[in-house]
Copies of this chain bind each other. A is one copy, B any other.
Amino acid sequence: MTEERIKEAINTLKESGVRITPQRHAILEFLIVSMAHPTADDIYKALEGKFPNMSVATVYNNLRVFKKAGLVKELTYGDSSSRFDFASSDHYHVICSSCGKIVDFHYPGLDEVEALAEHVTGFSAQNHRMEVYGVCPDCREHGKILKS
């Protein structure tokens, strides 16, 4: 089924006139197969075995291409670097404030909050961002030190 997802994604790209290069294929595949939320550098490092000459710019460029095609979402945090999420279905994230682990979770939707925001501020709401911060089971059990 990840196979299927990859094919599907490749087709989406082809249909919007994006050329399929080996690098592009590999980055996309990594995003889908790893099922993680890697940074651009994670991807770069993961693929340097297969593509010893690949440039970081290629990773960034392609992530931008995938974003524009709606295949990938960028998750931005304060200090560190962006993380990238293959856009399967809409979901939210819980983030461990100790180790940084990111876990998906589903929740009906916060349409009501958007509606209230519209009503109170006069804005027309388009979308929202929400994430929960906490401590993951691992960190709780092994008593890891919290990030300052």
Contacts and interface: CB of A to CB of B under 8 A. Distances in A.
Given A118-B134, A122-B136, 11 more contacts: A76-B77, A76-B78, A103-B121, A114-B132, A121-B136, A124-B140, A125-B132, A125-B134, A128-B131, A128-B133, A129-B131
Interface stretch (A1-9, A19-27, A89-97): A89-97
16 contacts: A76-B77, A94-B121, A94-B125, A97-B126, A103-B123, A105-B120, A114-B134, A122-B136, A123-B132, A123-B134, A123-B135, A123-B136, A124-B140, A126-B135, A127-B132, A128-B133
A137 B117 contact: no
Nearest to A115: B132
Nearest to A122: B137
Total identical chains? 2
A148 to B, nearest CB: 9
Interface of A: 74, 76-79, 82, 92, 94, 96-97, 103, 105-107, 110, 113-114, 116-118, 120-137, 140
A114 B92 CA distance: 11
Contacts of A128: 130-133
Contact of A130 (B120, B129, B135, B136): B129
